[in-house]
Amino acid sequence: MSISILSTKTIKDAVRAAIGHEATFTIVSSGTSPCPNCSVSGWYDSYNDKSLYPWCGICSGDYWLDGESQITVSGAHVRWITMDTPGYGPAGQTYEGDCYVTISIDDLTTTQVNNVKEIEVDSRKVQPFKTIYRGIPSRDRIRFMCREFEKV
């Protein structure tokens, strides 16, 4: 890598950090999405809050499945740490680099923070593996340590 490319990248990074990024958080909430099979067939048992069809191959009679919702946060601070050597994650996926995404503590609720499945930043999808509360004197920011996986 030549020096000119490196310095251009450093300037770009500094500008990005100053204006902030948009980060879209995919959050899993358990039992919020109706089973498509049972809802289409009208098998919702409102008295027991279950499916009338306990042999359903999708929900096994629970009716409610885990749902996903997306929350976009602007002004996220994103820092990429590119790995020199690609490693291997779960299911043989190759990770491209690590990434820190830092947002304000007001952007997400504690429940949402604990249920983040993936984050999309800079048109790349990353999976958080650690959450750190930061800030002095009050802990006013959350940093997600993430890993980018390339879909195999």
Residues making contact with Zn ion (CB under 5 A): 35, 37-38, 51, 56, 58-59
State the Cα–Cα distance between residues 26 and 28, nearest whole angstrom: 7
Comparing CB distances to Zn ion, the nearer of 20 and 34 is 34
Q: Report the nearest approach of Zn ion to the CB of residue 33 (Å).
A: 11
Q: Report the nearest approach of Zn ion to the CB of residue 57 (Å).
A: 8
Question: Is 90 in a helix, a strand, or coil?
Answer: helix
CB contact set of 11 (below 8 Å; sequence gap of 6+)? none
Comparing CB distances to Zn ion, the nearer of 53 and 149 is 53
Q: Report the nearest approach of Zn ion to the CB of residue 117 (Å).
A: 22
Comparing CB distances to Zn ion, the nearer of 59 and 119 is 59
Burial label, 139 (beta-carbon count in 10 A; 0-12, 13-18, 19+): exposed
Comparing CB distances to Zn ion, the nearer of 48 and 109 is 48
Q: Report the nearest approach of Zn ion to the CB of residue 25 (Å).
A: 28
State the Cα–Cα distance between residues 20 and 138, nearest whole angstrom: 21
